[in-house]
Amino acid sequence: MTSVVRATFSLGFVALLLAAVAGCGTKNQETSVSGGSSSSTAVGGVSPAQARAIAKDAYIYGFPLVDGNRIQYQYYTDPKSSEYKGPWNQIINTARVFTPADVAVQTPNSDTPYSFIGADLRAEPLVLTVPPIEAGRYFSIQFVDGYTYNFDYVGSRTTGNEGGTYLLAGPDWHGAKPAGIDAVIQSDTEWAQVIYRTQLFGPDDLDNVKKIQAGYEVKPLSAFLNQPAPAAPPAFGFLPPLTAEAEKTDPHFFTLLSAILRYAPVLPEEKDLRDRFATIGIGPDGNFDADTMTPEMRTAIEGGMADAWAEFNTLKTDKIDTGKVTAGDLFGTREAMKGNYLYRMAGAVIGIFGNTAAEAMYPRLANDSTGAPLTGANNYTVRFPPGELPPVNAFWSLTMYQMPASLLYANPINRYLVNSPMLPTLTKDPDGGITLYVQNHTPGAGKESNWLPAPPGPFQMFLRLYWPKDEALNGQWKPPQPQKA
């Protein structure tokens, strides 16, 4: 479920990095809302030029919320969606890995069967119970708030495999930790996404994963304490989402954002920012209406959205594609990201709900050794010399994605990745290294064990390093480059 170039453990950056990418966020960007020369105005007398600048910053800030809600709406709110998983506040186990049929999330992981909770934390906290899991099997539980910040983890790396009981609370809960709870985990938003990943060793291991998933439990705090439940809140007021494509250009994006912000209490450091957005009607009490604004103002708002995408594209071309900005910079806690909203947007665009670097790294292979983009019109090899497999405490994989959708590629042998559990089935080179054949057509019967099928057109691959070792985090280990055959 993620992406981007070689990661380091420097999550987010301080203001120096904000300056390194021109206009790379909305943090501390104050735009005057007085003195507009145009007669066409939005709320509060804001001129079209000012509205365009505000809309750009609000879009960068809001994209992860709106796109994340697009996914969660399909998962938990709309039973008619092909991606529907189940109701809020219930754990939904998917006893399989992702395939090309899963299209809601870009760059999906096909290594670990998932379990999900769409957490509605308005009425009361939830209590999550994790069973003991055998040593050597990696699992993680990622807690993602409405902003797409990874605000906590439970799992092999952080809490071990001995099991435990955890309380997940919303921003307005201030109770004492109940007896029997190992830790309290608190979200800044009234809803959250909880993502479980359970390692699968191979097709014949699926029944074991199902047993583990059956041991994951969630219940309201009142049920855990054997107390009466509080009154149920009304249904979330989330609006039906735009398509992923429409989110890029349709000003109704800001109507959706305003509805979402009702469940995201204003953080102290963001009060001025949210007040600025409110000057054009964006916010929980706003009156942003894409259908009634003047043509000039609508053009300004659409221009602001285009400006946001232009800024993202500059970041991607100059920083992400060159490896100067990595996955470790795009995902993390609110404190680690330090208000870098452009990086937060980039993480959502390229691989929403991506892990923090210490949990997983995602080296991106999008170009060959000469710098040319990868395409199925060519054949490539990816070689790991002896002793240079990805350094991990858990496991690694190399996954193929068809572009531009960045989704898994349907192929004749139904192989979407090569991973470390497959090592016994791979043919080794004479020196003990491993060469993978990345191409659209079979490399021949003697090499098919090491074949990663590619689409006929453009593609990219992502290495995933689960629980990476220090030499991966500090850059000592370098990922291989595809070599054109």
Domains of the chain, with CATH numbers? 44-357 (2.60.40.1610), 363-484 (2.60.120.1600)
pTM as predicted: 0.85
The whole-number pLDDT of residue 283 equals 97
In whole numbers, what is the pLDDT of the chain averaged over residues? 90
Q: Give the CA radius of gyration of the chain.
A: 23
Indicate whether 6 pLDDT > 50: no
By percentage, how much of the chain surpasses pLDDT 70?
91
The whole-number pLDDT of residue 279 equals 96
Indicate whether 467 pLDDT > 90: yes
By percentage, how much of the chain surpasses pLDDT 90?
82
Indicate whether 27 pLDDT > 60: no
The whole-number pLDDT of residue 32 equals 30
The whole-number pLDDT of residue 308 equals 98
The whole-number pLDDT of residue 44 equals 58
Instruction: Give the Å distances, CA to CA, from 53 to 79, 86, 137, 285, 319.
Output: 38, 39, 49, 21, 23
Indicate whether 28 pLDDT > 80: no
Most confidently predicted of 304-308, 319-323, 347-351:
304-308
- 465: closest CA among 357, 317, 316, 370? 357
Residue pLDDT, tens place only, 398-417: 999 999 999 999 999 999 99
Higher pLDDT residue, 202 or 289? 289
Indicate whether 12 pLDDT > 90: no
Interval 22-45 mean pLDDT: 39
The whole-number pLDDT of residue 105 equals 79
Three-state SS at 300: helix
Residue 65 in tokens: 């919320």
Instruction: Give the Å distances, CA to CA, from 194 to 43, 68, 150, 299.
Output: 37, 13, 10, 38
Indicate whether 229 pLDDT > 60: yes
> Which residues, other chains included, contact 198 with Cβ-Cβ below 8 Å and sequence gap of 6+?
112, 113, 115, 133, 137, 139, 209, 212, 213
Indicate whether 21 pLDDT > 70: no
Indicate whether 473 pLDDT > 60: yes
Interval 330-337 mean pLDDT: 96
Interval 59-73 mean pLDDT: 97
Three-state SS at 460: strand
Q: Which residues pair with 183 in a beta bridge?
A: 166
Residue 146 in tokens: 């409405």
- Identify the band that residue 66 occupies on the pLDDT scale cut at 50, 70 and 90: very high
Q: Identify the sign of the CA torsion 187, 189, 191, 193.
A: negative
Q: Is the separation of the CB atoms in 140 and 153 below 8 Å?
A: yes
